[in-house]
Structure 1
């Protein structure tokens, strides 16, 4: 017997069990009562067991029939869900797409991709917010976010993809180094002006260095300027104000065109991991699925 015939038999059996009679099931299936009765008989013969207790006034599932009905219902449900997901992927992205992004990485690297995605899909409206805190996607109704930082355990309601891991290093402008010299060790940094990152809680982020054994050590560095915004730090360093620690995705262009120079490159180390995250309940929506696939293919961290 072919798979198609088996599926037809399953669909007929579930219809009869749900309707409670051959006549009602036949009407729903647009078949004759005789055809439905014969179809159930063939199914019982193939399975070698009775699925229904029949009387002149009622039709009830046997114990074996009830167990089989449970399995068949689950199989049909899985098929319907798969078909719905495939149909959704073929549909045009539309409606409001809520996106939350980390401030600097989002503006520099993600925003251009979102604008291109929205431009390709006229029925789509994007609502984009920027924050450096961890957003509760389910509580705040967010469809997609980029997260910077390790996650010990992902909630079961969220799906995610890893974009890569930052590289953390120090940089200064060529003019600053020409005037003040280039440090050759961590200790030499004490003789230089350093631009530090000020956290929202009032603290100052430490600097991280590779220790030569594959591990990372952190040190609190003294500095003349403390800035609470990463892009403002870049501006300060390009204005010859000193040396600062950056994730290289933040100053990739400046390094490439020579506006900034890497300092102590041998002590550069890995930083935080970046992820895309979205609610599992929304991942088959064309607007979410489409943007996840786009960002996964174009965003890299280096």
Structure 2
């Protein structure tokens, strides 16, 4: 887009001179010396190569070119005022579009219940949801917020990180698999069993990392029959009776109630995932984004524990 050849301030000054019927009145209204306004209008005429105003000691009138320009200037000022008012309204109540990136499991299992309630509570907010497990660039991809499970601090200090809640993880197995392998009373049996691990496929030597009853953390080399960073893949595999899976509790709540999954070694936990919301800055956070962040902080903990 080519830059404007005219100073928009000069167009605004021109419109004020016309509406105030003179340079003196316009200067008094705007708090600008009459001489400065006169000089700016003269420069505007020079830039356009046409006279806009006929000046006499008693009267100021528009030329034909001035009349045509004034109509456009008046529309320009009206649009600018409307834009400013729209921004003020946007900042006074949650409204407008919010772009969000969420983990797949959180979107499918948890937020499918929460997001409709948020939308009913804030009818002027439009949500744009991306469900993905990949790492996204919040700035480059133009997201307002990103929700992720994290285990440590952020690498990028430019992002704001706010904890939403802690998600409890457990070891799960189907009744059919437990009937096949017998009672699992100790972690010593785990290396001989089929494990379904939540881990990157690039992790060459899979370890089942567990947190014990006293908070001690250990890593057990296991036979990973399935290794994936997608909780839904692991869940379907454990339901089919293929092994013991490491999964978040919220992802298996319905299956626990129905009895299609059972917790194995309940005193040992694979991990406690911190669900965190990331956004670029606290300053200038629009009400729609703030409303969604606050909503998740209040509503999410009850669904993931």
Aligned: 1:134 with 2:138: no
Gap change, CA 1:156 and 1:268, over 3 Å in 2:
closer
Matching residue of 2:191: 190
Aligned: 1:161 with 2:157: no
Q: Any stretches of 5+ residues in structure 2 without a counterpart?
A: 1-25, 32-86
Q: Deviations over 1:243-293 (max 9, x none)?
A: 111222222222233221111111225422111122226753122122112
Contact residue 246 and residue 270 of structure 2 kept, 8 A: no
Scaled by the length of structure 2, what TM-score is found? Answer: 0.63
CA displacement at 1:87 relative to structure 2: 6.5
Gap change, CA 1:185 and 1:156, over 3 Å in 2:
closer
Distance 1:204 1:86 in 2: 55
Matching residue of 1:47: none
Distance 2:207 2:88 in 1: 48
Distance 2:270 2:240 in 1: 25
Gap change, CA 1:283 and 1:169, over 3 Å in 2:
farther
Gap change, CA 1:124 and 1:168, over 3 Å in 2:
closer
Distance 1:206 1:190 in 2: 10
Gap change, CA 1:157 and 1:87, over 3 Å in 2:
farther
Aligned: 1:107 with 2:108: yes
Matching residue of 1:276: 277
Matching residue of 1:41: none
Aligned: 1:173 with 2:174: yes
Matching residue of 2:92: 90
Matching residue of 1:235: 236
Scaled by the length of structure 1, what TM-score is found? Answer: 0.63
Within 5 Å, give how 1:1-302 maps onto structure 2. 27=29, 88=90, 90-94=92-96, 96-153=97-154, 155=156, 157-197=158-198, 199-201=200-202, 203=204, 205-227=206-228, 229-268=230-269, 270-280=271-281, 284-300=285-301, 301-302=304-305
